[in-house]
Structure 1
Amino acid sequence: MEVLIKKLANLLSVKSLVTLALTVTFCVLTVQNAIPDNFMNIYTMVITFYFVKQLNAEDKNGN
Protein backbone atom coordinates (compact mmCIF):
# COMPACT_ATOMS: atom_id res chain seq x y z
CA MET A 1 0.00 0.00 0.00
CA GLU A 2 2.87 2.36 0.79
CA VAL A 3 4.36 1.76 -2.64
CA LEU A 4 1.07 2.71 -4.31
CA ILE A 5 0.82 5.93 -2.29
CA LYS A 6 4.42 6.82 -3.10
CA LYS A 7 3.86 6.22 -6.83
CA LEU A 8 0.70 8.36 -6.78
CA ALA A 9 2.60 11.15 -5.00
CA ASN A 10 5.35 10.99 -7.64
CA LEU A 11 2.72 11.16 -10.37
CA LEU A 12 1.49 14.45 -8.96
CA SER A 13 4.88 16.15 -9.24
CA VAL A 14 5.15 19.15 -11.54
CA LYS A 15 7.44 17.27 -13.90
CA SER A 16 4.91 14.47 -14.34
CA LEU A 17 1.96 16.83 -14.73
CA VAL A 18 3.76 18.79 -17.46
CA THR A 19 4.68 15.57 -19.24
CA LEU A 20 1.11 14.28 -19.06
CA ALA A 21 -0.32 17.60 -20.27
CA LEU A 22 2.09 17.69 -23.21
CA THR A 23 1.27 14.08 -24.08
CA VAL A 24 -2.48 14.76 -24.08
CA THR A 25 -1.90 17.87 -26.22
CA PHE A 26 0.26 15.84 -28.59
CA CYS A 27 -2.47 13.21 -28.95
CA VAL A 28 -5.13 15.85 -29.65
CA LEU A 29 -2.95 17.60 -32.23
CA THR A 30 -2.13 14.28 -33.88
CA VAL A 31 -5.83 13.45 -34.27
CA GLN A 32 -6.42 16.91 -35.74
CA ASN A 33 -3.34 16.51 -37.96
CA ALA A 34 -2.08 19.94 -36.85
CA ILE A 35 1.25 19.46 -35.07
CA PRO A 36 3.44 22.60 -35.30
CA ASP A 37 7.19 22.03 -35.72
CA ASN A 38 7.99 24.01 -32.58
CA PHE A 39 5.67 21.87 -30.48
CA MET A 40 7.23 18.68 -31.81
CA ASN A 41 10.72 19.90 -30.82
CA ILE A 42 9.61 20.91 -27.33
CA TYR A 43 7.66 17.70 -26.79
CA THR A 44 10.62 15.57 -27.86
CA MET A 45 12.97 17.41 -25.48
CA VAL A 46 10.61 17.11 -22.51
CA ILE A 47 9.90 13.42 -23.06
CA THR A 48 13.60 12.66 -23.56
CA PHE A 49 14.52 14.56 -20.39
CA TYR A 50 11.80 12.81 -18.38
CA PHE A 51 12.80 9.28 -19.37
CA VAL A 52 16.55 9.87 -19.13
CA LYS A 53 16.14 11.31 -15.65
CA GLN A 54 13.90 8.40 -14.66
CA LEU A 55 16.44 5.90 -16.04
CA ASN A 56 19.27 7.59 -14.13
CA ALA A 57 17.24 7.51 -10.91
CA GLU A 58 16.57 3.79 -11.35
CA ASP A 59 20.29 3.14 -11.97
CA LYS A 60 21.22 4.98 -8.75
CA ASN A 61 18.62 3.03 -6.77
CA GLY A 62 19.75 -0.27 -8.27
CA ASN A 63 23.44 0.19 -7.44
Structure 2
Amino acid sequence: MAEGVKKPVKFLKEVTAEMKRVTWPTGRELRKYTGVVVATVTFIAIFFAISDFVISSLLQLITN
Protein backbone atom coordinates (compact mmCIF):
# COMPACT_ATOMS: atom_id res chain seq x y z
CA MET A 1 0.00 0.00 0.00
CA ALA A 2 2.79 2.44 0.87
CA GLU A 3 4.40 1.81 -2.53
CA GLY A 4 1.18 2.88 -4.24
CA VAL A 5 1.24 6.21 -2.37
CA LYS A 6 4.92 6.93 -3.04
CA LYS A 7 4.62 6.82 -6.83
CA PRO A 8 2.09 9.66 -7.20
CA VAL A 9 4.03 11.79 -4.71
CA LYS A 10 7.27 11.17 -6.61
CA PHE A 11 5.52 11.97 -9.88
CA LEU A 12 4.18 15.28 -8.55
CA LYS A 13 7.62 16.25 -7.22
CA GLU A 14 9.14 15.52 -10.63
CA VAL A 15 6.42 17.53 -12.37
CA THR A 16 7.08 20.49 -10.06
CA ALA A 17 10.82 20.29 -10.74
CA GLU A 18 10.24 20.11 -14.50
CA MET A 19 7.84 23.07 -14.47
CA LYS A 20 10.54 25.18 -12.82
CA ARG A 21 12.92 24.35 -15.70
CA VAL A 22 10.48 25.46 -18.39
CA THR A 23 11.29 28.71 -20.18
CA TRP A 24 8.00 30.57 -20.07
CA PRO A 25 7.25 33.30 -22.64
CA THR A 26 7.20 36.91 -21.51
CA GLY A 27 3.92 38.82 -21.55
CA ARG A 28 4.98 40.60 -24.73
CA GLU A 29 5.86 37.33 -26.47
CA LEU A 30 2.59 35.79 -25.34
CA ARG A 31 0.55 38.67 -26.81
CA LYS A 32 2.56 38.47 -30.05
CA TYR A 33 2.01 34.72 -30.41
CA THR A 34 -1.67 35.08 -29.54
CA GLY A 35 -2.04 37.75 -32.22
CA VAL A 36 -0.43 35.48 -34.80
CA VAL A 37 -2.79 32.62 -33.90
CA VAL A 38 -5.89 34.86 -33.99
CA ALA A 39 -4.85 36.35 -37.35
CA THR A 40 -4.16 32.92 -38.84
CA VAL A 41 -7.47 31.47 -37.64
CA THR A 42 -9.35 34.53 -38.94
CA PHE A 43 -7.65 34.27 -42.34
CA ILE A 44 -8.42 30.56 -42.64
CA ALA A 45 -12.04 31.08 -41.55
CA ILE A 46 -12.54 33.82 -44.17
CA PHE A 47 -10.85 31.67 -46.82
CA PHE A 48 -13.16 28.72 -46.13
CA ALA A 49 -16.25 30.94 -45.97
CA ILE A 50 -15.45 32.42 -49.39
CA SER A 51 -14.60 28.98 -50.79
CA ASP A 52 -17.87 27.58 -49.46
CA PHE A 53 -19.85 30.45 -50.96
CA VAL A 54 -18.19 30.09 -54.38
CA ILE A 55 -18.58 26.32 -54.51
CA SER A 56 -22.21 26.51 -53.35
CA SER A 57 -22.97 29.16 -55.97
CA LEU A 58 -21.36 27.10 -58.72
CA LEU A 59 -23.22 23.96 -57.70
CA GLN A 60 -26.49 25.88 -57.58
CA LEU A 61 -25.86 27.22 -61.11
CA ILE A 62 -25.07 23.72 -62.37
CA THR A 63 -28.11 22.07 -60.78
CA ASN A 64 -30.61 24.75 -61.88
- TM-score, normalising length from structure 2? 0.43
Structure-1-length-normalised TM-score: 0.44
Structure with larger Rg: 2
